[in-house]
Amino acid sequence: MKKVFQYLLFVSTMPLYASAEPIELDQVISYLNSIETLGADFRQVNHDGSISKGALYIKKPGRLRMAYASPDTIVVIVNDEFVTILDAKNSASRQKLSISKNPLRLLLSSELELNTDDSIVDFNSNNLKTTIIVSDQKNTNQGTVEIIFNNKPLSFEKWLITNSLNEKIVVHLSNILVGDEFKDSLFDPVFEFNKSTNKP
């Protein structure tokens, strides 16, 4: 289950502009900041070549849910600066970890701020692709998050996380919906635990 947390990936966008020209970093940040909720299907390619699928839900600030589809039975919930990992097959198996040292926390904020004391950004845009790479300057050994966009038109393509062991995991999103209403219970680890154990 620790492996699932190491590979937890986050952030996506919908198509922005119909231009094939290079874009500015501020344009991408502004759009990402405009997203309050996001839902999508995901296809996760792990560093060993295995593939996981499931549903992703994001509700800013700071809330995320990744529910892995069968045969996986894992649900990962980010809420209140913590990550909780639950296994539906083993109700006694529950982990709670801090997200404070993971670069993903920078992308779950309601106002994404880059080039600050807390982050390092590598930004590149050409006629075909736009890429931003975020890492935590105070915890550079925690890995990086790379977000890749297509520019014809400008739209989210995938994100990639490189962990502290230099293992690379890629997540592709599909059926993206922005702006839907999500119940707070989706991001409540206690509610999820009680549901998995059939508690009232």
Q: How far is CA 179 from CA 60, 83, 197, in A?
A: 11, 23, 31
| Residue 15 predicted with pLDDT over 50 | no
Identify the band that residue 18 occupies on the pLDDT scale cut at 50, 70 and 90.
very low
Question: What average pLDDT does the chain have?
Answer: 79
Q: What's the rounded mean pLDDT across residues 65-80?
A: 92
Residue 113 is part of which domain span?
2-181
Per the domain annotation, does 63 fall within a domain? yes
Q: What is the pLDDT of residue 76?
A: 93
Q: What is the pLDDT of residue 140?
A: 62
The rounded distance, in Å, linking the Cα atoms of 44 and 125 is: 25
CB-side exposure of 5: number of CA atoms within 13 Å? 20
Are 166 and 142 in contact by the 8 Å Cβ rule? The answer is no
The rounded distance, in Å, linking the Cα atoms of 200 and 194 is: 7
Per the domain annotation, does 155 fall within a domain? yes
Per the domain annotation, does 80 fall within a domain? yes
Q: How far is CA 120 from CA 56, 107, 133, 143, 165, in A?
A: 26, 13, 8, 11, 19
Per the domain annotation, does 196 fall within a domain? no
pLDDT digits (tens, 9 = 90+) for 91-144: 667 788 888 766 667 677 777 766 555 676 788 998 888 898 887 666 666 678
If DSSP states are collapsed to H, E and C, what string results for 124-145?
EECCCEEEEEEEEHHHHHHCEE
Which three-class secondary structure state does DSSP give residue 23? coil
| Residue 200 predicted with pLDDT over 60 | no
Q: What is the pLDDT of residue 12?
A: 38
Per the domain annotation, does 190 fall within a domain? no
Give 124's contacts (C-beta < 8 A, 6+ positions apart). 130, 131
The rounded distance, in Å, linking the Cα atoms of 192 and 188 is: 6
Q: What is the CATH number of the domain that holds 21?
A: 2.50.20.10
Q: Which of 43-47, 51-55, 97-101, 149-153 has the lowest mean pLDDT?
A: 149-153
Q: What's the rounded mean pLDDT across residues 63-72?
A: 93
| Residue 197 predicted with pLDDT over 80 | no
Domain count, the chain: 1
The rounded distance, in Å, linking the Cα atoms of 64 and 8 is: 10
More confident residue, 25 or 47: 47
Which strand (E) or helix (H) includes residue 45? strand 37-45
Per the domain annotation, does 107 fall within a domain? yes
Q: What is the identity of the amino acid at 87?
A: D
Q: What is the pLDDT of residue 91?
A: 67
Per the domain annotation, does 67 fall within a domain? yes
Per the domain annotation, does 198 fall within a domain? no
DSSP label at residue 187 = G
Q: What is the pLDDT of residue 192?
A: 87
| Residue % of the chain over a pLDDT of 90 | 30
Q: Give the CA angle between residues 179, 129, 51 to the nearest 5°.
A: 70
Are 121 and 137 in contact by the 8 Å Cβ rule? The answer is no
- Tokens standing for residue 65: 């849910």
Q: What is the pLDDT of residue 199?
A: 61
The rounded distance, in Å, linking the Cα atoms of 196 and 16 is: 39
| Residue 46 predicted with pLDDT over 90 | yes
Identify the band that residue 6 occupies on the pLDDT scale cut at 50, 70 and 90.
very low
